[in-house]
Amino acid sequence: MHLKSLTVKGFKSFASATTLRLEPGITCVVGPNGSGKSNVVDAISWVLGEQGAKALRGGKMEDVIFAGTAGRAPLGRAEVTLTIDNTDGALPIDYTEVSITRRMFRSGESEYEINGNQCRLLDIQELLSDSGIGREMHVIVGQGRLDGVLHARPEDRRSFIEEAAGVLKHRKRKEKAIRK
Ligand code: ATP
Ligand code: MG
């Protein structure tokens, strides 16, 4: 399973529909400050169901909709589609390619789709729940966060790694069991 492509339209600085093709392996996005690199990562968090405006570096959720520039009027909705290659069947759905879409209007209403069929956010969360990607997973390390990890005290760094590896919850359960 790997991310195949990301299409953003009306999302943050991406007014026109823009598609990024992602190949297996490492993808680097390069560009000057303020050109929208972090917005690409925000788009991935958002389409996977992120509900917190702060996690998307905004004040309110509406801030994800293209707000306009000197030469271009604001838009009324944001739309992001993430296409995942599922040829290995990692996602429990009978498709070799799975597209997840989220659309949001200025009213605050969000719509979700799996392969073009309208669904609930819960359906997307369930689809991704055992895949290692999703909103609650520590798969997205934000700008500045890496510095935080590198400069953390060894015990804090250890707990970060344990959390990412999924060990922390077991350790907490063990500690709780011992206390009883
Ligand atoms: P850096 O190298 O400094 O980290 P970056 O490439 O990660 O920069 P981003 O933070 O992704 O840059 O993009 C910031 C740009 O996105 C700013 O110019 C900001 O005005 C623009 N932007 C953010 N939200 C919106 C919006 N809703 N409408 C229009 N533009 C937006
Ligand atoms: Mg950035």
CA distance 75 to 10: 6
Domains of the chain: 2-134 (3.40.50.300), 141-180 (no CATH)
What pLDDT does 14 receive? 98
Judged against a pLDDT cut of 70, whether residue 134 lies above it is answered with no
Between CA 143 and CA 125 the distance in angstroms is: 25
pLDDT at 141 over 80: no
Mean pLDDT of 44-63: 91
Residue 76 assigned as binding residue? no
Burial of 81 (0-12, 13-18, 19+ CB in 10 A): buried
Q: Is 36 in the pocket of ligand 1 (CB under 6 A)?
A: yes
| pLDDT at 139 exceeding the cut of 80 | no
Ligand 1 and 135: CB distance under 6 A:
no
Q: Is the pLDDT of residue 143 over 70?
A: yes
HSE at residue 16, side-chain half, CA atoms within 13 A, is 1
Query: Tens digit of pLDDT for each residue in 90-119?
Result: 999 999 999 999 999 999 899 999 999 999
Q: How far is Cα 68 from Cα 46, in angstroms, rounded to an integer?
A: 20
Q: Which amino acid is at 73?
A: A
pTM for this prediction: 0.85
**Structure tokens given for 156:** 């804090």
Ligand 1 close to Cβ of residue 107 (< 6 A)? no
